[in-house]
Amino acid sequence: MCSASFVEETSQHYSPRNVGSIATAPRTLQVVKHVFPLELSSMGSRSVLQEGLYGSTVVEVGAGSEKVTMQNLNDRLASYLEKVRTLEHENSKLELQISEVLEKRGPELHDYSRFEAIVTHEFLFQILETTLSNANLALQVDNSALCIEDFKAKFEHELQIRQSVESDIRDLRKILDDTNVQRLHLENDVEMLTEQLISRKKNHQQDVTELHNQIAQSGVQVDVDAPKGEDLARIMEKMRAKYEKMSLKNQEELKAWHETKIIEVEVQVTENTAALKEAQNQVQEKRRDMQSLEIELQTQKASLLGSLEEAQLRCNTEVEQYNVIILQLEAELTELRSSLQKHRQDYSILLNLKGELEAEIETYRRHLDESRLPTPDEKAEGSVVGARGEMGLGLCLRQDLALQSTSL
């Protein structure tokens, strides 16, 4: 190890003769090795420093140039001090970074600041677009529903018109039936009157014949000075002609009235039939329009439902993708947090080991001081070398500790 080699090299290069000018004979520095078990384990690495102090092993410091030895010691000490400063600077940086990480990410706080920009600019924009599309679809559905209600109202109105026209047609048919019945009754009356006229004509002819026969059989001839009266046959003929004229006149009037009524009824029936046909045509046209509108409405409804389902499916897919991304990021955050916790634990272990090493260095120095019985000159020279050796040992230990901490 670095600390043990430094102590041995220092012991080999040290002698009172090389440091001071008072001693005339070379002296030896007794460095007794004693085992102080010290373990430094982190991340699978292991460093064991074993050094001790019990007085039996003697290292003889050979002669050499004092200036060269001091120069070497000073160079090594300067290099160790530079390494110590570098390691302390790096250690302070690591402590600052760890403290910042611990302050930013506590055990119960979740920092989603780096996701907010993505969610704000991308997800919210997509959600807004989806919401607007859904609103447009809902508006189209409402408009279609309003159109359906309007067409239903028109259909009901046309249906009422059709029902009223059908009721008028039924009434006209009843009137036509009544007119036909009246016509039949009038025809029957005309036939009866015609039969009565014929029977009366026959009876009148029979009466005239009987009277002529009676006159002829009686043979009575009366001469009267009075003016000759009209002939009975002529009178009867006149009466017959008069009644025939009256009958013909009544028949013509009845026929004209009947024809007029029939014409009026036929005109009404024709008008009603035309109105009925027009209403039926309008109903059929409205029905065709309604069927076409229903088909168009069903098509639009199906397309809108398909678009809505597609939009919902797309939104669900995007939400699932975003959930997967969030889960991955949360897993990475958890892993990072566990790694930081592990590094913090390792750092605390290293700090404890550093304290233990410093305590053992102090114990080692005390044992070195107690084991030596130096003269005043050796005491002064040994204190310098011991301080330097202790400093070098501490620097080596710190270097090993810093190297292991940086390897973490």
Token pair 């310098």 is at which residue? 384
Assess whether pLDDT exceeds 50 at residue 196. Answer: yes
For residue 114, the model assigns a pLDDT of 65
Tens digit of each residue's pLDDT (9 = 90 or more) over 19-62: 333 333 333 333 333 333 333 333 333 333 333 333 333 333 44
b/e for 390-406, b at 16 or more Cβ within 10 A? Answer: bbbbbbbbbbbbbebbe
Q: What percent of the chain stands above pLDDT 90?
A: 0
Query: pTM above the 0.95 mark?
Result: no
Q: What is the mean pLDDT of residues 94-116?
A: 70
Phi then psi for residue 63, to 5 deg, are -75, 150
Cβ atoms within 10 Å of 36's Cβ, excluding its own: 14
For residue 240, the model assigns a pLDDT of 77
For residue 392, the model assigns a pLDDT of 54
Q: What is the mean pLDDT of residues 109-118?
A: 62
For residue 398, the model assigns a pLDDT of 58
Delimit the domains of the chain by residue range.
2-114+335-407
Q: What is the mean pLDDT of residues 248-258?
A: 82
Contact criterion met (CB below 8 Å) for 183 and 265: no
For residue 174, the model assigns a pLDDT of 87
Band of residue 389 on the pLDDT scale cut at 50, 70, 90: low
Token pair 């001071």 is at which residue? 20
Contact criterion met (CB below 8 Å) for 404 and 42: yes
Question: Of 359, 375, 376, 355, which is closest to residue 367 (Cα–Cα)?
Answer: 359
Cα–Cα distances in angstroms (integers) from residue 134 to residues 119, 127, 137, 319, in the given order: 20, 10, 5, 16
Structure tokens at 282: 């309008």
As to burial, measured by CB atoms within 10 angstroms (0-12 exposed, 13-18 middle, 19+ buried), residue 12 is middle
For the ranges 75-79, 114-118, 398-402, the lowest mean pLDDT is seen at 398-402
